[in-house]
Amino acid sequence: MTRLARLVFCALALSAASAGLLAPGSSAAQDRAPEQAAAAYRRAVSHRRAGQLEEAAAAAEEAIRLRPSHAAAHFTLGAVRRQQNRLEDALVAFRRVAELEPQSQEAQAMLGAVLARLNRCEEALVPLQRAGARSARDAASWGNLGACLRRLRRVEEAIHAYEQALVQIPDEPDLLNNYAVALRQAGRPEEAIAALEGAMARHPDSPDVHLNLAIAYRSIQRYPEASREYEAWYRLVPAPSDPGPLFDLGFCYEQTNRRDDAVRIYRVYPGLVSGRDAQ
């Protein structure tokens, strides 16, 4: 059974210097009311900090109407729409920031992150690669790049991207988990197990880590260890939406002569038996 690991996302802030820059080729004469636009932008930031997202969006849109070249207002609007899960609207806003400030690492990072959230991984690669190239410390972009590359089955490149992210945040459980999944998919299960055991030491109650560790053990026929990790996952997720791992647990029980335990698991979800005699 293959399980897609979660993507890692990070909220980024536009630099203070970027907030006052005009787009190349524009001029103050093109802006209708710079002072009013600045005031509207400050309101947008204040509303967003207070969690008043609709008010923040309205103020950012007002700033943009008054000053179309206001990159920070476009960025704030994109960030608000992303928080609201209005990803297509966020994408429009971040594309505009990237047009206004093509050298902005933050704009590329957020553009790539939103495209990744939309599962448009091919499109996400270029902005994420640009963001990573401009800042080796941008763990979020490296993590998102790894996730997209893995979904595109470019596993060795994904491993490299995850390793760049882990330099910055070596204890991040989701990142370690995703890295281990890529290692396993690349046929490196022992390395995957080492990474997952490291994640487990820091985050013993992570269902995803237990599950992927179980899968890695099962892939090299270490059935007792796989059973242990499937059991830990099941304790943390007693009513799984996907019962597939329970079938895998039953299989591991059978491989270790724990027939009664296998029958017990198969009876939880009778459809898992698939022709087996569980009586």
Nearest to 227 by CA among 239, 210, 243, 244: 210
Catalogue the long-range contacts made by 80-83 (C-beta closer than 8 Å, 24 or more residues apart). 80/44, 80/48, 80/53, 80/56, 81/57, 82/110, 82/113, 82/114, 82/117, 83/53
Is pTM beyond 0.85? Reply is no
Residue 144 to residue 40: CA distance in whole angstroms: 32
Proportion of the chain above pLDDT 70, given as a percent:
85
Coil vs helix vs strand at 162: helix
- Taking the CA atoms of the chain, what radius of gyration do you get in angstroms? 24
- Whether the CB-CB separation of 31 and 69 falls below 8 Å is answered with yes
Q: pLDDT, tens digit, for every residue of 76-100?
A: 999 999 999 999 999 999 999 999 9
Q: pLDDT, tens digit, for every residue of 194-204?
A: 999 988 888 89
